[in-house]
Amino acid sequence: MLATCSNRRKPVAMKVIDKAEDERSIVKEVRLMRMASGCPFLCHAHTAFQTKLTACIVMEYASGNSLKKFIKGTGKLKTDDIIFYAAEIICGLQFLHANGIVHRDIKLGNILLTGEGHIKISDFGLAVEGMFGQRKVKGKAGTLKYMAPEVSCSE
User: What's the total number of domains in the chain?
Assistant: 1
Q: Which CATH number fits the domain that encloses residue 103?
A: 1.10.510.10
Q: 102 - beta bridge partners?
A: 128
State the SS3 of 82-97.
HHHHHHHHHHHHHHHH
Question: What contacts 29, CB < 8 A, 6 or more positions away?
Answer: 57, 124, 125, 127
Backbone angles phi, psi at 137, to 5 degrees: -75, 135
| Average pLDDT for 102-118 | 93
Statement: residue 83 has pLDDT above 60: yes
pLDDT of residue 19: 81
Is residue 118 left, alpha or beta, with left meaning phi > 0 and alpha meaning psi from -120 to 50? beta
Statement: residue 1 has pLDDT above 80: no
In this structure, the number of other CB atoms found within 10 A of the CB of residue 62 comes to: 20
pLDDT of residue 60: 86
Q: Provide the annotated active-site residues.
A: 105
pLDDT digits (tens, 9 = 90+) for 112-141: 999 999 999 999 888 888 776 665 555 555
Residue spans of alpha helices (H) in 17-147: 23-35, 67-74, 79-98
Determine the structural domain holding residue 146 and report its residue range: 2-152
